[in-house]
């Protein structure tokens, strides 16, 4: 077990590969998967999706990222939309130029705006980077992966990033206490 403080210090000192390796190896441990699942309590945001999340964790541990990644996007998106409401933003596909309605990105943008106006600087520092990271995944990867245009997403790093994001989708709860 490596403490978050030690990981942060390693990251700050430029040892990003060491931190990445520690996180990736930790996310392959059955005990860590069980802890993540145990923290999904009845009535919590992820509870309805707990079986799906368990399957995504299993696929990750089996190194079947082509299964975990496309399963994690709707878990995250559905949880965000259910928790924070449906916001639509008309967008155009980079590949075919067709219009579509984005849902997760506008919700994340709204949450980000709320954080920026928050007076709690600890929360701002802690979660803005995570929100930006999720925005990148949803704007750059979600549609191409889920619509079959991007087929080279067999990535432990992407799967791990989405697992971490899905297991900590309580931004607004952090703002309100």
Q: Divide the 177 residues of the chain into consecutive groups of 10 and give the mean pLDDT of each group.
A: 69 80 85 85 81 94 94 85 66 66 65 63 55 66 79 88 77 42
At 23, which helix (H) or strand (E)? helix 16-26
User: What's residue 16's pLDDT?
Assistant: 78
Residues 26/6, Cβ–Cβ less than 8 Å: no
Half-sphere exposure of 166 (CA within 13 A, CB side): 31
User: What's residue 175's pLDDT?
Assistant: 40
Cα separation, 96 vs 111, whole angstroms? 29
Long-range CB pairs of 105-114 (<8 Å, 24+ gap) are: 105/135, 105/138, 105/139, 107/80, 107/81, 108/80, 108/134, 108/135, 108/138, 109/135, 110/84, 111/84, 111/171, 111/172, 114/172, 114/175
Longest Cα–Cα distance of the chain, Å, equals 47
User: What's residue 171's pLDDT?
Assistant: 43
User: What's residue 62's pLDDT?
Assistant: 95
Residues 6/22, Cβ–Cβ less than 8 Å: no
Cα separation, 11 vs 82, whole angstroms? 34
Residues 153/177, Cβ–Cβ less than 8 Å: no
């Amino acid at each position: 077990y490596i403490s978050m403080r030690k990981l942060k210090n390693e990251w700050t000192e430029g040892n990003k590969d060491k931190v990445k390796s520690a996180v990736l190896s930790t996310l392959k441990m059955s005990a860590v998967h069980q802890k993540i699942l145990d923290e999904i309590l009845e009535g919590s945001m992820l509870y309805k999706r707990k079986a799906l999340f368990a399957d995504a964790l299993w696929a990750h541990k089996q190194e079947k990222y082509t299964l975990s990644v496309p399963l994690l996007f709707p878990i995250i998106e559905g949880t965000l939309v259910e928790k924070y409401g449906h916001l639509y933003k008309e967008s155009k596909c980079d590949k075919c130029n067709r219009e579509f309605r984005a849902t997760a990105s506008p919700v994340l943008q709204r949450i980000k705006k709320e954080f920026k106006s928050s007076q709690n600087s600890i929360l701002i520092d802690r979660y803005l980077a995570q929100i930006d990271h999720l925005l990148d995944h949803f704007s750059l990867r979600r549609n191409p992966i889920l619509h079959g245009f991007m087929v080279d997403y067999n990535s432990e790093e992407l799967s791990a990033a989405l697992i971490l994001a899905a297991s900590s989708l309580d931004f607004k709860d952090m703002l309100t206490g």
